[in-house]
Amino acid sequence: FTNAGVSISPVTLLNGFGPGVFTGVRHLGDAVAAQAQIDLTTAYNTLAGLPCPPANAIVANLGGTTKPAGVYCTASGIGVTGTLTLDGGGDPNANFVFQAGSSLTTAGNIVLINGAQAKNVYWQIGSSATLGVASQWQGNILALSSITLVDNATLLGRALARNGAVTLGTNNIITLPERRHTIGSYERPHLAAVLRMIAWPAPQYAGPRHTRQQVPQHFQGGVTSEPQVYMRRIDPASGRSVSGST
């Protein structure tokens, strides 16, 4: 792991470190890990509940396609063979949410263009996620069950498993993306939990629309240098910022 910590709750079992290495904070079955588990559940449920336009239904393998910002969904699994390109349309705050009723299985890569950023990509997975051999993945994976990185797979993002393990193979690298400052509220104040949970090591807080909130000074061992104040709303269909200030 690069600039990333490890938190496990309610158990305390962590195998493979070393030879595995991480440069963040370790929380094994403590109060911080327990709160992270609660926040992960809230985040998962919030992402799963975001409205998905019918035009964004996933009906085929996403490899070889280009997607603009927005919420995409399928009642079954998401497969990516080849390259999936995410186009931010020139908006660095463009959000991409992928909702899968079951699994995520990859044999390919994510390419971000026109301002799209890994910190703004979310994979809400109804069972387990498997990043196949040498996949170069980007985004925050929130899986109900487990997450597996097969040999030589890399992740620029976060691997967050609710009820199962995060399992690594050989030569895997997980790197935290640049810390994020805003996320769309989709008119849901409790999406603040999504932001708080995924913002390791630099927590943020997204309050209700038209409300200015100070950033909490703690979460998962991360500390912000000073409170930040902002307000932001994102249209769920387009993923574009439609109002906001910092």
pLDDT digits (tens, 9 = 90+) for 53-102: 999 999 999 999 999 999 999 999 999 999 999 999 999 999 999 999 99
How distant is the alpha carbon of residue 163 from its chain centre?
A: 16
Q: Is-above-0.75 flag for pTM?
A: no
- 59 close to 74: Cβ distance less than 8 angstroms: yes
Task: Classify residue 68 by its DSSP letter.
Answer: E
Under 8 Å CB-to-CB from 66, ≥6 apart: which residues?
Answer: 85, 86, 87
Per-residue pLDDT at 16: 64
The band of 19, judged by pLDDT with boundaries at 50, 70 and 90, is: low
Least confident of 106-115, 145-154, 188-197: 188-197
Select from 155, 169, 165 the least CA-distant residue to 106. Answer: 155
Strand (E) or helix (H) holding 94: none
Provide the b/e sequence for 171-197 (b: ≥16 CB within 10 Å): ebebebbebbbbbbbbebeebbbbbbb
| Helix, strand or coil, per DSSP, at residue 80 | strand
The band of 30, judged by pLDDT with boundaries at 50, 70 and 90, is: confident
Per-residue pLDDT at 18: 65
Q: How many residues does the chain have?
A: 246
| Helix/strand/coil percentages in the chain, nearest 5 | 15, 35, 50
Residue 112 is encoded by which pair of tokens? 């971000």
Per-residue pLDDT at 33: 78
Per-residue pLDDT at 153: 96
What is the tens place of the pLDDT at every residue in 213-222? 332 332 233 3
The band of 5, judged by pLDDT with boundaries at 50, 70 and 90, is: low
DSSP assignments along 190-231, one per residue: GGHHHHHHHTTTS-----STT--EEPPS-BTTB--SS--EEE
- 207 close to 189: Cβ distance less than 8 angstroms: yes
pLDDT at residue 24 above 80? no
The more confidently predicted of residues 210 and 49 is: 49
Select from 84, 81, 72, 126 the least CA-distant residue to 103. Answer: 126
**Beta-sheet pairing, 154-161 with 129-131:** unpaired
| Helix, strand or coil, per DSSP, at residue 167 | strand
> How far, in Å, CA of 146 to CA of 164, rounded?
4
Per-residue pLDDT at 3: 57
Mean pLDDT of the chain: 75
pLDDT at residue 241 above 50? no
